[in-house]
Amino acid sequence: MYEEFRILIHTIMTETLHKRPTESELEILEILWQTGSATVRQVNELLEQKGKNVGYTTTLKMMQIMTEKRLLSRTMDGRTHVYTALIQAGTARNALIDRMVEAAFGGSAMKLVLQALGNHKATPDELREIRELIDKLEREQS
């Protein structure tokens, strides 16, 4: 029984890790990561506040698709459906970065970092964190 449960959890986590949310799905996920859970109406209102002119039915359909993709869970609160993100912010961001590195930088993380540092001025604290990360990665490779 334990082994079956372990395999089920592994399968679900593997499927979730390979989900690559679209840009629109990421906007909905960002809202749910901030709010914890929300109804379609609440998500739609927050999207509109961000300047996204999206109709209620479009938001509903997107969230239904995201539920089918196991990016969201849906529970009932009376007659209202309440949605919660199933994928963590870090997991989604990692998938997005992986996709971007492959598509825009030919799989080169170095090209991504150089482009990012060339386009945006890093603060002294950010540069310190980057140096610490490089030092850590070098120690791990030794």
With contact defined as beta carbons under 8 Å apart, do 66 and 25 qualify?
Answer: yes
pLDDT band at 22 (very low <50, low <70, confident <90, very high): confident
Confidence of residue 23 (pLDDT cuts 50, 70, 90): confident
Give the pLDDT of residue 65. 95
Using a 10 angstrom Cβ sphere, with 0-12 exposed, 13-18 middle and 19 or more buried, the burial of residue 59 is: buried
Residue given tokens 């938001």 in the structure block: 59
Q: What is the pLDDT of residue 121?
A: 84
What pTM was computed for the model? Answer: 0.66
15 CB neighbour count, 10 Å cutoff? 11
> What is the Rg, in whole angstroms, of the alpha carbon atoms belonging to the chain?
19
**Between 90 and 7, whose confidence is greater?**
90
pLDDT of residue 9: 53
